Amino acid sequence: MPQIANLTVKKNDGTTDVTYTAVVPSAGDKTPALWRNTAVGTAAAHQPTLVLSSRNNGTGSARRLEGQLVYPTTVTGTDGKVTVADKAIIGISGVIPSGMPTSDINEAVSQAMNLFVTSLVKDSFKTGYAPT
């Protein structure tokens, strides 16, 4: 099993790194691991978070993984209080069959993740529309 670690990714500018700090590892099935971008916001509620959990599917023939990024936007009121005004929520879900050859699983996962980071898919999420 993978061990929790900090995650470093590029910001929207394509050059600046941002780190999601490992906060809590998963304690087992259905318990999510948690990462937080501590460089953003002044309170935990203001910081982007990533959670990733895993469990068996209903028949036990596959593993289901679910991840979710929550990216809040904050506003400062006239009283100086910072509050969360809205949140972008982006999720990913996958089912990995237990009987599938490792080489096929590796290829499927690599291709899926590489497709999700293509400019076309990213632009679709940024605009809120699928390609036409």
- The whole-number pLDDT of residue 89 equals 98
Span 77-99, average pLDDT: 96
**What is the count of structural domains for the chain?**
2
Whether the predicted model's global pTM rises above the 0.95 cut? no
pLDDT digits (tens, 9 = 90+) for 22-47: 999 999 999 999 999 999 988 999 99
- The whole-number pLDDT of residue 42 equals 84
- The whole-number pLDDT of residue 107 equals 97
Paired with 19 in beta bridges are 8
Clarify whether residues 84 and 36 are in a common domain.
yes
In sequence order, which residues have a C-beta less than 8 Å from that of residue 96 and are 6 or more positions away?
A: 62, 63, 64, 65, 105, 109
Domain presence at residue 92: yes
Tokens describing residue 89: 């929520």
Q: pLDDT exceeding 70 applies to what percent of the chain?
A: 100
CATH number at residue 71: 3.30.380.10
Q: Which domain holds residue 76?
A: 7-98
Clarify whether residues 84 and 111 are in a common domain.
no
Clarify whether residues 93 and 28 are in a common domain.
yes
- The whole-number pLDDT of residue 73 equals 96
Clarify whether residues 117 and 56 are in a common domain.
no
- The whole-number pLDDT of residue 16 equals 97
The end-to-end CA distance of the chain, in Å, is 40
